[in-house]
């Protein structure tokens, strides 16, 4: 079984579960890739792909496995230079330095 998942999802959810699956089903050969790129499911021969997004115009079969929230965080130092968390809610356009995926 060839699996692809984003790095953060793989580390957070799959890293603990895959060894349990492999112990229960030792005959299943596994190839697991944790990568943030959008793989070509058909051309690259994946059996299971996890994507943290909505699929648009696809002939692939998909199932929602969970809901994930987006959290915006800022340090006091960043906010002290004039950035505000409410700028997107009020419709003001403001440039921000962001890290789209971060995990500690």
Confidence grade of residue 104 (pLDDT, cut at 50, 70, 90): very low
Domain membership flag for residue 29: yes
Tokens 């997004």 label which residue?
Answer: 53
> CB within 8 A of 11, min separation 6: which ones?
34, 103
Domain membership flag for residue 17: yes
The pair of three-digit structure tokens given for residue 29, joined into one six-digit string = 């050969």
Q: At 40, which CATH number? A: 3.40.190.10
DSSP-assigned states of every residue in 51-69: -SS---S--S---------
Domain membership flag for residue 6: yes
* Number of domain units in the chain: 1
DSSP label of 88? T
Neighbours of 66 (CB within 10 A): 8
Say which residue, 91 or 99, is predicted with more confidence. Answer: 99
Amino acid 98: pLDDT:
63
Domain membership flag for residue 76: no
Range of the domain at 8: 2-49
Beta bridge partners of 5: 34
Amino acid 52: pLDDT:
81
What is the spatial distance between Cα 24 and Cα 10, in angstroms, rounded to a whole number?
Answer: 19
Domain membership flag for residue 96: no
């Amino acid at each position: 079984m060839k699996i692809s998942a984003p790095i953060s999802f793989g580390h957070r959810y799959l890293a603990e579960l895959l060894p349990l699956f492999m112990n229960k089903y030792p005959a299943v050969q596994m190839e697991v890739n944790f990568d943030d790129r959008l793989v070509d499911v058909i051309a690259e021969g994946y059996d299971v792909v996890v994507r943290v997004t909505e699929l648009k115009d696809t002939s692939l079969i998909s199932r929602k496995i969970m809901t994930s929230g987006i959290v915006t965080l800022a340090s006091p130092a960043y906010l002290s230079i004039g950035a505000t968390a409410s700028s997107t809610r009020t419709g003001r356009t403001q440039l921000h330095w962001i890290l789209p995926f971060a995990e500690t």
